[in-house]
Structure 1
Amino acid sequence: MASAQLETTTAVETICSQSPIELEDMAVERLADLGILEIDFAIDRDTLRHAGFEHCLCDACAITDFEFLFQLPAFDRIPGQKIAVLSNITDGSVIFAVLNDGGDDIEIVRQDDMPSEIASFANAFMDVFLQLGDLAA
């Protein structure tokens, strides 16, 4: 019991010592983690097997706060893997959906956890789409 009280006291002291900006950053990170859980739970592995990677992700996005943006071209460094870019409609954050080598499961990966060359390429790709949209408007 004393150990639990000590842990609670330590957690409260840690939170109280944070600046408002740090607390906001913590809250945003927790919401992003909840979004990852939401899309991960929405992915139907049967749809993945029967209809494919993109269709599976589009179905999952349709019932969550995410939008399927695009699938990245294949990377030689990651043979056989498919990577899609998804955007959280609520906060605009970007996550990646990575098909495993067996083609039977999808891992949801935060942008910060992707290799930098893949994240940079995806950001450049999004910038091109935004510029094309601006030209069309």
Structure 2
Amino acid sequence: MMASFVDITEIKKANLLIERKLEIQRTISSISSMFVSPKNIDDTINVALQKICELCGCSRSYIFRFSNDGEWMNNTHEYCPVGVTPQKDSLQDLPVSMFPWWMDKLHKDELIHITDVSTLTEEASAEKEILEM
């Protein structure tokens, strides 16, 4: 009797990766189509933030608007799931200089994806402090 075994672990991993990429593409496509001719831009932005939050599995997602002089920023839109306390009202008129790590990343067009606030380095101490709230 002869037996043959094939380890399909790598195939399963590849399939999971493909599924995740498809999920990301579907979400991006869905969000993009919502902005073609929105009836209410604020509602549309809020739904988009919800979809982003759900896709990433995060506790909240924000949009900040920078002042014309680039010195201040305000949280204009926020989504957080049930059970997470909104912070939008307390994130107003924030001096950009307060967040050097974030601003450096933004100026370099780098992605800011924080999976665990507690792991932020000393370099991001100001950002860590506000995110821990």
Superposition TM-score tier, normalisation by shorter sequence:
0.3 to 0.5
- Higher share of residues assigned strand: 1
Q: Which has the larger radius of gyration?
A: 2
TM-score (norm. length: structure 1):
0.36
- Higher share of residues assigned helix: 1
